[in-house]
Chains A and B, each alone.
Chain A
Amino acid sequence: MDSVFIVIPAFNEEKSIVGVIKDLFSRNYRNVVVVDDGSSDRTAEFAAEAGAEVLVHPINRGQGAGLRTGTDYALSKGADIIVHFDADGQMRAEDIASLVKPLKSGKAEVSFGSRFMAKKSNMPIVRKFLLRFGFKTFMRIMYGVSMSDPQSGFRAMTAGAARQIHITQRGMAHCSEIIEEVHRKKIPFIEVPVVIRYTEYSLKHGQSNLDGFRIVARLVWRKLLK
Chain B
Amino acid sequence: MTPLQIVVVLFALFAFSRTLLRLRDSKISMKEFLLWNTVWISMAVIVFQPWVTDIVSQKFGISRGIDFVVYITILVILYLIFRLFVQLESMEQELTKIASTIAQQHPKKK
Q: Interface on A for B, CB 8 Å cutoff?
A: 35, 38, 44, 48-49, 51-59, 61-62, 65, 68-69, 72-73, 76, 168, 170, 225
B99 interfacial contact with A, CB 8 Å = yes
Complex contacts, A170 vs chain B, CB 8 Å: 92, 96
Query: In the assembly, what is the distance between CA of A65 and CA of B96, in Å?
Result: 7
Q: Interface on B for A, CB 8 Å cutoff?
A: 86, 89, 92-93, 95-96, 99-100, 102-104, 106-110
On whether the beta carbons of A69 and B108 are closer than 8 Å, the reply is no
On whether the beta carbons of B99 and A61 are closer than 8 Å, the reply is yes
Overall SS of chain B's interface: helix
On whether the beta carbons of A72 and B99 are closer than 8 Å, the reply is no
With A49-B110, A53-B108 known as contacts, the answer to whether A69 contacts B103 (CB < 8 A) is yes
Most buried by B among A44, A51, A69, A76: A69
On whether the beta carbons of B102 and A65 are closer than 8 Å, the reply is no
With A44-B108, A48-B108, A48-B110 known as contacts, the answer to whether A57 contacts B100 (CB < 8 A) is yes
Query: In the assembly, what is the distance between CA of A225 and CA of B107, in Å?
Result: 35
Most buried by A among B93, B95, B100, B102: B100
With A168-B93, A225-B86 known as contacts, the answer to whether A69 contacts B110 (CB < 8 A) is no
Query: In the assembly, what is the distance between CA of A96 and CA of B52, in Å?
Result: 72
Query: In the assembly, what is the distance between CA of A225 and CA of B108, in Å?
Result: 37
Can you list 14 pairs linking A and B with CB atoms under 8 Å apart? A38-B99, A44-B108, A51-B109, A53-B109, A55-B106, A57-B99, A57-B102, A59-B95, A59-B99, A65-B100, A69-B100, A72-B104, A168-B93, A225-B89
Complex contacts, A225 vs chain B, CB 8 Å: 86, 89
On whether the beta carbons of B108 and A56 are closer than 8 Å, the reply is yes
Tell me, rounded to whole Å, the shortest Cβ–Cβ distance linking A109 to chain B.
Answer: 23
Complex contacts, B86 vs chain A, CB 8 Å: 225
Complex contacts, A49 vs chain B, CB 8 Å: 110
Known interface pairs A53-B107, A56-B102, A72-B104; 17 further A-B residue pairs with C-beta atoms within 8 A, sorted by A's residue number: A48-B108, A51-B109, A51-B110, A55-B103, A55-B107, A56-B108, A57-B100, A61-B95, A61-B96, A61-B100, A65-B99, A65-B100, A69-B100, A69-B103, A73-B103, A170-B96, A225-B86
